[in-house]
Each structure stands twice: as structure tokens, then as C-alpha cells.
Amino acid sequence: MKRYWRVYRSFFSSSFARELEFKANLFAKFAGNLMWIFFFVMILFVVYSKTNSIAGWDKGNAFVLAATVFLMNAVFNAFFFSLQEIPQQIRLGTMDFVVTKPMDTQFWVSTRKFNFDQIGTMCAGIVMIAVGIHLGHVTPDFASWLAYVVLVACAIAIFYSFNLALMTSAIWLVRVDNLWVLGESLVGVARYPVDIYEASMRRILTFVVPLAFLATVPARQLIRGPDFMAVGEGILWAAVALTCARLFWRRAMRSYTSASS
């Protein structure tokens, strides 16, 4: 474990040094992310200027939900940004150098780069949570916060597993560079509460396709109080997703024969 921590520190340091080479680009991406959040917040204000509630979610609740999506996605893109490079590594043959290194290949391809421009999005998400709690006139207790943090961690694990499996398919498909857009599409759908759908669809998005656990279920912990059954379900979904993604990755590595084969 200590060896992996030392390796990750070197990854982090090299990522920081790379960002310092292009400071203007870093600040431009930083500003771009904040502008996107600003425009989405403006949309919320426009929508809730015409109504007080949508499917039981008022403006404050919607802020918490949107903030949860931004926070989850920002943490994923900050720590696991390098997953998007898997198809390119396979196509160019640089994956050959990864598989020969004396460490877990999944760890390497997942954490090779830290994306610093997501730090602003994380901070904006935290501010939005505070604003949403204030607008919603709710006061989450310690149990609510604990349930929220655990479920956000589960959401990150589920989203990571989905993206890892998606990018790993490049072992067989090769040209899948734009498949990451599917992950962005999931984030777009998760910005809206699953309560807007009919009952059968809500069950599917909760118990069949765990889209509800990306944002709706975590946000409910702060809005409506802790639901420890939902926390247990979230942990179970995260464990299943990580296990399946791990098995899929190992199966893919056994099929990998390098770009020259």
C-alpha cells in the first residue's frame, strides 16, 4: 500500500508540474467550468420562477441535487480523468508499457493524471449545497451528513465502474474515443430527480439501473433525513459495480495483445 501511495504522489506531482506549464489553459478551463455551473443555476432560477415545486422538489432541493451531481462528477474527473486515455493508449501501443510495469494496471490507467481544473467545480458544488440547504429551510443532522457522504462515495464508485468498463471495451473495439460522452449523458440525466418519472421507471432507475444513486438518493439524505436502507443499497450497488468492472478489466487484459499484434 505504501508503494502505491508513493506512486500516486509522483502522479500527482507530475500532473501539477504539467498544469504549471500551461497556466492560462488551466485558468481558462477553471473559468469555463464555473461558467457552465452559473448558466445551469440561472436555468434553475428561471424554472422555479414559474413554479414552487417539481415532483416534490422545491428550489432549494433542486440546488442540493444539482450540487451533488457537480460534486460527484468533479471528484471523478479530478481523480480518474486518465480513464479517457485508455482507447488512445491501446490504439497507439503505449498500453504495452503499462502492462509491463510491476504494479496493478487498473490503478495505473485510472490515476495516472490528476485534473486540477475540477477543484473549482468541487468548491462551487459545496457552495451550492450550502445555498440549497438555506433555500430549502432544512437543517441536516450528523446522521444525514454521514449518509450523504457515504452515498456520494458510492455514486463516484458506480460512475467510475461504468466509465472503466466503457473505456475498457476499446480492447476489442479500438476506436471508442468518444464513448466518454455516454458518461456525460448519464450526468445530464442525473441532474433531474427520478421522481419526475412514473413509478415503474423510478423502480428501474433505482433497482435495475442505479441512476438514482448518482444524485437523487444522496441528495434526499440532506433534504428528507437519513435513510439507512438506501445507504445499504448504495453500498451494495457500489460493491457490485466495482467487482464487475474489475473482472471485466482483468478479462480485457488477458485479451490484450498489443498494438503490433
Q: What is the pLDDT along the chain (261 residues), one digit of tens a residue?
A: 788 888 888 888 888 888 777 777 777 777 877 888 888 888 888 888 888 888 888 899 999 999 999 999 999 999 998 888 888 888 887 888 888 888 889 999 999 989 888 888 898 889 999 999 998 888 899 999 999 999 999 999 999 999 999 888 888 876 666 667 777 777 887 888 888 888 888 888 888 888 899 999 999 999 988 999 999 999 999 999 999 999 999 998 888 776 555
Distance between CA atoms of 220 and 217, rounded to whole angstroms? 5
Distance CA 238, CA 235 (A): 5
Q: Which residues of 211-238 are buried (b: 16+ CB within 10 A; e: fewer)?
A: bbbbbbbbbbbbbeebbeebbebbbebb
Report pTM: 0.90
Q: Burial, 117: exposed, middle or buried (Cβ in 10 Å; 0-12, 13-18, 19+)?
A: buried
Whole-angstrom distance, CA of residue 195 vs CA of residue 52? 16
Per-residue cell: 5: 501511495
Q: What are phi and psi of 54, to 5 degrees?
A: -125, 115
Closest residue by Cα to residue 221 from 152, 161, 124, 135: 152
Per-residue pLDDT at 146 = 96
pLDDT at site 33: 78
